[in-house]
Structure 1
Amino acid sequence: MDFQDTSELAAFRSNVKIWLEANATKRTDKLHMGMEGDTAFQEAKDWYKKKADDGFACLTWAKEYGGAGLTSLHEVVWTQEVENYKTRDAHFVIGIGNCGPAVMHFASEEAKRKLLPRMASAEDVWCQLFSEPSAGSDVAGLRTRAEPDGDHWVLNGQKIWTSGAQYSDYGVVLTRTDPTISKYRGLTLFMIDMRQSGVEVRPIKQMDGGGHFNEVFFNNAIVPDTYRLGEVGGGWAGALTVLMSERLAISGVQPTGFPQFLDLVKSLELNGQPIADDPLVRDRLATWYSQYAGLQAVNKRMLTAVAKGGIAGAEASLGKLVGAVMNQEIANFACQIFGPAGIVQDTELSPERAHFQQQVLFSPGVRLAGGTDEVMRNILAEQVLGLPQEPRADKGIPFQDIPTGPA
């Protein structure tokens, strides 16, 4: 594929540059902006509202749903240019990148016209409610129940690791509606009002000091049947839409740590010698560069497929798997290079404003979010390489009959 701009894309790129110059702060380093705290969240909402008002939010969404009605290549141009500025785009990757496609595919036209424009402008914030304490990486093993009651459903159960739930107005929640059939067939997907009294959100204090993840408890929470996404029992198809969108969204913002490590290698000296002269550092730099370049090539391949009218496939899982592992390895290696200074988290004292120390604490969670390494490997093995599925002892068994522990 030719990645040179067409005349239309060149004009769009020029408009983006002018707008960013007027509305954002130029980036002086490759470090990511934090997502923690009420101040950061309000700045993110204000930023996204400004984007929406000026036609730069949700570029590929139809205009009637609050988007700009443009193409995926326009989104690529935006991503390339916004990298040069300090922005808070990452705050709404979950809602707009994951929940948005599910609402777009499965909600009624009335619901889409009502809810999507408010999502696109971040007037309403959304979260994804899939993971549960008892299910681990097996999303389909969830136990949150949804029981019909007239024209609505009553939800009871618990979710965990829900990003941004404490700020969310709505969520997309996967529930079990029939335990008498196989675990994949007994699921139903809903939209849910997160502000109702039947929903309790408890932030989880993370080891890096943040509190972005949450536990969410449902105690007779009410969901109108009009908020059902797809057919009763068809929740797994909806979940796959969300999960594929999530892995594509994550692959676009997945930190690899390589640009920051390259800057470190260029600038750091140990015992009066450039660290780039160290054979071990050079070996690691070459290894991680090859992985980073490979991920760039895979992203271009996905963009080519999308530009030709296709969809991004399971290859998006590769960016998540390789990038998340590399990010953790680089952070650990950098802190080893620092020696005793590797435990110093003061942004004024540590190289790269303590980026690597922060990533040592945060990066393990990135390897869990959106699917563990093992889940990603299974997806790539089965859907990309065409290998046989791994044996599943619970296949075809009614969910209620699956053993959960010692008899």
Structure 2
Amino acid sequence: MSTRRRRPASIAGPPTARGAQRTEPVESFRTRARRWLKENLPPAPQNYRWYGDDAQWPRARELQKILYEGGFAGICFPREYGGLGLTAAHQRAFTEESMGYEMPLSLNVPTFSICSPTILDLGTEEQKRKHIPAVLKGEEVLVQFLSEPKGGSDLAALTTRADRDGDVWILNGSKIWSTFAFAADYALCLARTDWDAPKHRGLTMFLMPVHTEGVTIKRIRQTNGSEEFCQEFFDNVVLPADSVLGEVNGGWAVASRQLFHERNAVGGGSPYVSGARPRGGGEVTDLVDLAQRSGQLADSRVREDLGETRAMRLVEEQLIARVTQAIKAGTMQPHASSILRLFHAETVWQQVDAALRIAGAVGVAGAPGHEQEQGEVGEDYIYRQASGLGGGSTEMARNIISERVLGMPREYAADRDVPFRQVKTGR
């Protein structure tokens, strides 16, 4: 779907004039955003599904370019890299105003909320100036190459290797569960570069082109029919020295920061996410509509489900605000983002379960005239466990909270401080 603009998209000023908005009051910014959105973006598609199809990617890039040209891209990104340098309150205002419009939501995770902030935190000046403006203009999509086929939740036990050969690195191995890798331009790829160091101290992060010689990408079909996850195979992939993000053999520090941004994003606390999906997937208003259509709104059990769902949502919103502010103020460690990640999973589970209880059999097959809409309730239920895995499993989140936030003793690890080549691994 193309966008026909009735007037130039630069109501907010072109990128070079963004400094004028640096201290703009939130309500003034909201008013400009409301006017600009109405005049430049089409309404959000009906029954929007965030994973969509392959056609979403060129469209997302197009929409992002429109946002950039209109002066509404990268609201919380630094001005020197093409952003607006404004606050999370400005971003929240824009997200609220954009709810009814088509937005490049597929770029939020992991491009905007995980990979780009990691580059901002630990990349070289050259890497920042090359990639951040390209992301904000819709020219680049970024992904993560972290998990491995036999790695489970122990990311530091990875066996993808990068060997130094003169001025380049040679990458071999495989990654899996890489969201949207097929549509990406660059990836943050963690590889082992020192096999004589303990597992956390022999890793290096690379900022690598996805579609380059030696990289094979295979898509994974899931129970809901989507294919956003991929597996990658690396066969003597050549990476230049300036592909290293952070320090050689210092990749765990980069990965830790990256995982902080991931947990923050999954938990709903990232200031870099722009826009949110329209209603769907267990929102309270959808559950009310579902109860009304099925004639169950007066049922006390159903009303309890609706009340609990609303309460969970309110608690989640307050928890995000409190933990985010505490991390920013330094009164809580970044590890506290795992609290957001864990509670978000439990909130989603409660909502999806409530939706299926209300829908009953029609949640699987749908009802006449509502087959697709109500059938999605069953689809969401089948897919519910994904909420407990994305951004690290809930079990790992509980470990981090107990050990890193509450200060409880760390659990025993037989491979701690052991050179990785001596660690026994499964075959």
How high is the TM-score relative to the length of structure 2?
Answer: 0.85
1:167-216, CA deviations, whole angstroms, 9 ceiling, x for partnerless residues? 11111101111121111001111100111111111110111001000001
1:96 is the counterpart of 2:112: yes
Task: For 2:376 and 2:303, locate their aligned partners in 1 and report how far apart those are by CA, in whole Å.
Answer: 21
Q: What is the CA-CA distance between 1:24 and the residue it aligns to?
A: 2.8
Identify which of 204, 208, 216 aligns with 2:224: 208
SS in 1 for 2:189: strand
Contact preservation (8 Å) 2:290, 2:359: no
Contact preservation (8 Å) 2:114, 2:265: yes
Identify which of 42, 58, 74 aligns with 1:58: 74
Question: Which shows bigger deviation, 31-40 or 236-245?
Answer: 31-40
Identify which of 280, 296, 299 aligns with 2:320: 299
SS in 2 for 1:155: strand
The one-letter code matched in structure 1 to 2:29 is F
**How many correspondences in the alignment?**
398
Q: What is the CA-CA distance between 1:140 and the residue it aligns to?
A: 0.8
1:130 is the counterpart of 2:146: yes
- Aligned position for 2:3: none
- Aligned position for 1:183: 199
1:233 is the counterpart of 2:219: no
Identify which of 35, 39, 51 aligns with 1:18: 35
- Aligned position for 2:101: 85
- In structure 2, runs of 5+ residues without a counterpart are 1-22
Question: Which shows bigger deviation, 304-313 or 145-154?
Answer: 304-313
- Aligned position for 2:355: 334
For 1:344-383, what aligned pairs fall within 5 Å after superposition? 344=365, 349-350=370-371, 352=373, 354-383=375-404
The one-letter code matched in structure 1 to 2:26 is L
Task: For 1:88 and 1:348, locate their aligned partners in 2 and report how far apart those are by CA, in whole Å.
Answer: 30
Task: For 1:323 and 1:389, locate their aligned partners in 2 and report how far apart those are by CA, in whole Å.
Answer: 24
SS in 2 for 1:315: helix
Q: What is the CA-CA distance between 1:400 and the residue it aligns to?
A: 1.7
Task: For 2:95 and 2:402, locate their aligned partners in 1 and report how far apart those are by CA, in whole Å.
Answer: 29
Q: What is the CA-CA distance between 1:81 and the residue it aligns to?
A: 2.2
Question: Which shows bigger deviation, 73-82 or 178-187?
Answer: 73-82
- Aligned position for 1:159: 175
1:279-307, CA deviations, whole angstroms, 9 ceiling, x for partnerless residues? 32233333333322111101121453477
The one-letter code matched in structure 2 to 1:178 is D
SS in 1 for 2:311: helix
1:283 is the counterpart of 2:283: no
1:264 is the counterpart of 2:264: no
Contact preservation (8 Å) 1:101, 1:241: no
Task: For 1:346 and 1:284, locate their aligned partners in 2 and report how far apart those are by CA, in whole Å.
Answer: 21
Task: For 1:265 and 1:85, locate their aligned partners in 2 and report how far apart those are by CA, in whole Å.
Answer: 23
Identity among equivalent positions (%) equals: 33
Task: For 1:329 and 1:45, locate their aligned partners in 2 and report how far apart those are by CA, in whole Å.
Answer: 34
Task: For 2:368 and 2:393, locate their aligned partners in 1 and report how far apart those are by CA, in whole Å.
Answer: 30
Task: For 2:219 and 2:366, locate their aligned partners in 1 and report how far apart those are by CA, in whole Å.
Answer: 23
Task: For 2:220 and 2:247, locate their aligned partners in 1 and report how far apart those are by CA, in whole Å.
Answer: 33
- In structure 1, runs of 5+ residues without a counterpart are 1-5
Identify which of 163, 166, 169 aligns with 1:150: 166
Aligned-residue CA RMSD (Å): 2.8
Q: What is the CA-CA distance between 1:267 and the residue it aligns to?
A: 4.9
1:217 is the counterpart of 2:240: no
Contact preservation (8 Å) 1:33, 1:87: no
Task: For 1:315 and 1:76, locate their aligned partners in 2 and report how far apart those are by CA, in whole Å.
Answer: 21
Contact preservation (8 Å) 2:339, 2:401: yes
How high is the TM-score relative to the length of structure 1?
Answer: 0.89
- Distance verdict in 2 for CA 1:366–1:121, change over 3 Å: farther
Contact preservation (8 Å) 2:280, 2:286: no
Task: For 1:399 and 1:8, locate their aligned partners in 2 and report how far apart those are by CA, in whole Å.
Answer: 53
1:386 is the counterpart of 2:407: yes
Task: For 1:267 and 1:275, locate their aligned partners in 2 and report how far apart those are by CA, in whole Å.
Answer: 8
The one-letter code matched in structure 2 to 1:106 is L
SS in 1 for 2:233: strand
Task: For 2:93 and 2:326, locate their aligned partners in 1 and report how far apart those are by CA, in whole Å.
Answer: 16
The one-letter code matched in structure 2 to 1:14 is T
Contact preservation (8 Å) 1:35, 1:41: no
1:291-344, CA deviations, whole angstroms, 9 ceiling, x for partnerless residues? 221111011214534776888833332332222233234324423433332222
The one-letter code matched in structure 1 to 2:370 is L
Q: What is the CA-CA distance between 1:220 and the residue it aligns to?
A: 0.6
